């Protein structure tokens, strides 16, 4: 397996969402030799947001534009961005290694894990079969195809509410199907849902099956969560927003995660493995917001700079790996 250059980086950032890009900005300003590895387009989940209204300094900005601004800002400091797939993170005593799909590897004194999360699936019949033919996890990407049509949105959180409001501008009718009798979404979004006459909330219901004809999705089968009664909604699209799962596949064994698979870190965003940090939606936290991911990116980069400085100066106060990793290092 080849090494990508002989040098050891100060910092490798894995993932180019708001957490990773913010870390890139702070790392470059701290003069860390840094590379950010991201196989998709920079921005992560932020790219999928139609309208961002709560990032300070921007009353309204599209997720795509904010992503571009983050990316341009990081690149203005000369951040090296590598469009490759990362396949393994290997902690070590002296430096940590990131293996790439092409067979090469990168080495660095510190790593920031910023891999984010992916939309959760309902796992009901028809969901995977009709993905792309009426089943979607992104209103901004696919909403246009449902102009003047009827769609079902599943979920009761901020994402479902925001996406239902977006779809209501395009679709003839939006059913918002929620499994309880109260939404989890913020009050401001709940009020907007109520005020939108294109949106009808279907309370206490879960989707059990997605039906299709030769044109794609044609109906969604529901079950009442209180009395079990079945119901069918005729709709050409179903948009699923029921939260997401952390992208923790690359998190090495020995790094502490909670029961839901989110990585646990301290106030510096450092994991239980010295020199390995975590930011954004992959990290255990109270709320998942762009501003929080960005703040964590800056925290982790500043902490990484301190860690690298100590490491290079030979001060080893933070260099002990947890026992689970010692045998692998």
Distance of CA 3 to the CA centre of its chain: 29
218 annotated active-site:
no
Q: Which is nearer to ligand NAP, 62 or 105 (CB)?
A: 62
Beta strand extents in 3-73 (DSSP E only): 9-14, 34-37
- Which positions from 288 through 327 interact with ligand NAP, judged by CB under 6 A? 288-289
Other Cβ atoms less than 10 A from the Cβ of 244: the count is 17
CB of 240 to ligand NAP, least distance (A): 8
- Which positions from 49 through 68 interact with ligand NAP, judged by CB under 6 A? 54
Which of 10, 50, 141, 181 is catalytic? The answer is 141
141 annotated active-site:
yes
- The site for ligand NAP, by CB under 6 A, has a size of 21
Q: Which is nearer to ligand NAP, 76 or 191 (CB)?
A: 191
Name the pairing type of β-strands 150-154 and 173-177. parallel
CB of 54 to ligand NAP, least distance (A): 5
Residue whose C-beta lies closest to ligand NAP? 157
Which of 142, 196, 224, 319 is catalytic? The answer is 142
Q: Cα(10)–Cα(112) distance, rounded to whole angstroms?
A: 11
Q: Cα(215)–Cα(209) distance, rounded to whole angstroms?
A: 17
Which of 7, 10, 50, 138 is catalytic? The answer is 138
Q: And the tokens for 56?
A: 């300070």
Q: And the tokens for 251?
A: 């998190």
Q: Does 241 bind ligand NAP (CB under 6 A)?
A: yes
319 annotated active-site:
no
> For the purposes of burial, counting CB atoms within 10 Å of the CB of 253, is it exposed (0-12), middle (13-18) or buried (19 or more)?
exposed
Q: Cα(222)–Cα(71) distance, rounded to whole angstroms?
A: 42
> For the purposes of burial, counting CB atoms within 10 Å of the CB of 151, is it exposed (0-12), middle (13-18) or buried (19 or more)?
buried
- Which positions from 178 through 197 interact with ligand NAP, judged by CB under 6 A? 179-180, 184
- Which positions from 128 through 167 interact with ligand NAP, judged by CB under 6 A? 154-160, 162
CB of 144 to ligand NAP, least distance (A): 20
DSSP 216: E
* Three-state DSSP state, 157: coil
CB of 14 to ligand NAP, least distance (A): 21
**Which residues bind to ligand NAP, rule: CB under 6 A?**
54, 122, 154-160, 162, 179-180, 184, 206, 241-244, 287-289
């Amino acid at each position: 397996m080849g090494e990508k250059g002989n040098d050891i980086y100060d910092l490798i950032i894995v993932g180019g969402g708001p957490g990773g890009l913010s870390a890139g900005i702070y790392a470059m300003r701290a003069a860390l030799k840094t590379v950010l590895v991201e196989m998709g387009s920079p921005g992560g989940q932020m790219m999928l947001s139609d309208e961002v209204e709560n990032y300070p300094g921007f009353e309204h900005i599209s997720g795509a534009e904010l992503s571009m601004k983050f990316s341009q800002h990081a690149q203005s400091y000369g951040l090296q961005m590598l469009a490759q797939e990362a396949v393994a993170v290997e902690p070590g005593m002296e430096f940590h290694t990131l293996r790439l799909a092409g067979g090469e590897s990168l080495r660095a004194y510190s790593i920031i894990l910023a891999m984010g999360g992916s939309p959760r699936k309902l796992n009901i019949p028809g969901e995977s079969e009709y993905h792309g033919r009426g089943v979607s996890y992104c209103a901004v990407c696919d909403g246009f195809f449902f102009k003047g049509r009827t769609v079902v949105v599943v979920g009761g959180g901020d994402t479902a509410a925001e996406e239902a409001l977006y779809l209501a501008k395009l679709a003839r009718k939006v059913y918002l199907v929620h499994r309880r009798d109260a939404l989890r979404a913020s009050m401001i979004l709940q009020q907007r849902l109520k005020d939108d006459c294109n949106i009808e909330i279907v309370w206490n219901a879960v989707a059990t099956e997605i039906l299709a004809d030769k044109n794609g999705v044609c109906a969604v089968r529901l079950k009442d969560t209180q009395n079990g009664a079945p119901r069918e909604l005729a709709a050409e699209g179903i948009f699923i927003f029921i939260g997401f799962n952390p992208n923790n596949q690359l998190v090495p064994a020995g790094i502490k995660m909670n029961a839901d698979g989110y990585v646990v870190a301290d106030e510096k965003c450092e994991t239980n493995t010295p020199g390995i940090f975590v930011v954004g939606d992959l990290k255990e936290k109270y709320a998942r917001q762009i501003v929080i991911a960005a703040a964590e990116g800056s925290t982790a980069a500043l902490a990484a700079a301190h860690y690298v400085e100590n490491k290079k100066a030979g001060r080893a106060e933070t260099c002990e790996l947890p026992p689970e990793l010692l045998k692998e290092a």
